[in-house]
Amino acid sequence: MPRHLIVGAGQLGPIARDESKARVVERLIALLHDASDQAVELLVFPELALTTFFPRWYVGDATEFDHYFHREMPDGDTQPLFDAAKELRIGFALGFAELAPDDGGTLHRYNTYTLVDRDGTEIGRFRKVHIPGHAGHEPWRQFQHAERHYFEPGPDGFEVWKAFDGIVGMALCNDRRWSETYRVMGLQGAELILIGYNTPLHYYPDPTQNALAGFHNHLVMQSGAYQNGSFIVGVAKGGIEEGVDSLAQSVIIAPSGQIIAQAITTGDEVVSARIDLDFTATYKGMLFDFERYRMPHYYGRIAAVRDDAQPPPREI
Ligand code: ING
């Protein structure tokens, strides 16, 4: 009996620095309705889907940007989104900046994804692990990428959840560039991995990579999908946002690595596909049968042999 699920990539175009949360929520609800017209059951929104990508500016006192953060989810601003999704019976993943107090009351700032079921209940949260860019002001850049000034890495690593009749994992933006991201979830049986991203087309540390932005984006997700036998939904906030041209090209990828749906604009757009989660067994149960073919006891041996490795290049 196939485990069919209709998934959607809910791509966003630019969000202006002073665009109200209410206006952004209206746009997200419009995407929900477009998804409903496509019979979508799970809609994936991008990273930091409620705000402009504010780490492109460096403010000395990071608390000046606390208005971009949310202590509660849903809250007054986002409750209409949760209500609309529940009414349409569409689950969703939403990227947002989270202000989370720990048990001792210390506030932590995370770049967070929340996964919400079709009945509006929260299934789980992922907090971005690989925080790219820089912590200090770097005036040599035309725009900053100061994520390390505003966010700390999530404490929980990469988890998976039983949801939507399958095993679902999440990752955010730079996480998708690291092969471990997919393998850690693959070892937990991930059948569907949801990824949101904000990726400037200009990469100041090495502009020769600018022309490869689209290639690298799909390369890492297609290989992650194939090598772990998982579907992947990769969703952009794209277009020219506050003067920064950002990659769109949201995709839905099969465990074969094939792209089965791709956004064709750089704006608000829903692309969808009906996937069969049982199809993951075609890869997990054969070519990438970890129990039978994977050789973890060799990996430490390789690391030990290569103890003359060169020091890593300077921080980007
Ligand atoms: N953005 C970027 C990403 O990993 C980046 C950072 C940009 C890395 C360009 C390399 C090149 O897609 C986030 N938000 O992680």
CATH number at residue 225: 3.60.110.10
Which residue shows structure tokens 């966010």?
151
pTM of the model: 0.96
- Average pLDDT value for residue range 132-159: 97
Nearest CA to ligand 1 atom 12: 199
Q: How much distance in Å is there from the Cα of 8 to the middle of ligand 1?
A: 23
The reply to whether ligand 1 has any atom less than 6 angstroms from the CB of 237 is: no
Pick the residue whose CA is nearest to atom 15 on ligand 1: 174
Q: Is 292 contained in some domain? A: yes
Confidence of residue 1 (pLDDT cuts 50, 70, 90): confident
Active-site choice (47, 147, 191, 241): 47
**CA count, 13 A, side-chain hemisphere, 243:** 7
What is the whole-number distance in angstroms between the Cα of residue 197 and the centre of ligand 1? Answer: 8
Separation of 89 CA from ligand 1 center, angstroms? 33
Determine the average pLDDT of the residues in 47-75: 97
Domain membership of residue 29 (yes or no) is yes
Task: Take atom 8 of ligand 1 and give the residue whose Cα is closest.
Answer: 174
* Residue 109 maps to a domain: yes
197 assigned to some structural domain = yes
DSSP 315: P
Per-residue pLDDT at 124 exceeds 70:
yes
Any domain includes 314: no
Residue 136 CA to residue 172 CA, distance in Å, equals 22
Q: Which residue has the tokens 């403010």?
A: 59
User: Per the domain annotation, does 313 fall within a domain?
Assistant: no
In a domain, 222, yes or no: yes
- Residue 309 scores a pLDDT above 80: no
Q: What is the pLDDT at residue 300? A: 83
**Whole-number pLDDT of residue 111:** 98
Name the active-site residue from 21, 41, 98, 128: 128
Domain count, the chain: 1
Cβ of 153 closer than 6 Å to ligand 1, yes or no, is: no
Q: Is the CB of 181 under 6 A from ligand 1?
A: no
pLDDT for the residue numbered 316: 47
Cβ atoms 129, 176 nearer than 8 A = no
Q: Which domain holds residue 277?
A: 4-303
What tens digit of pLDDT does each residue of 254-295 get? 999 999 999 999 999 999 999 999 999 999 999 999 999 999
The verdict on residue 257 lying in a domain is yes
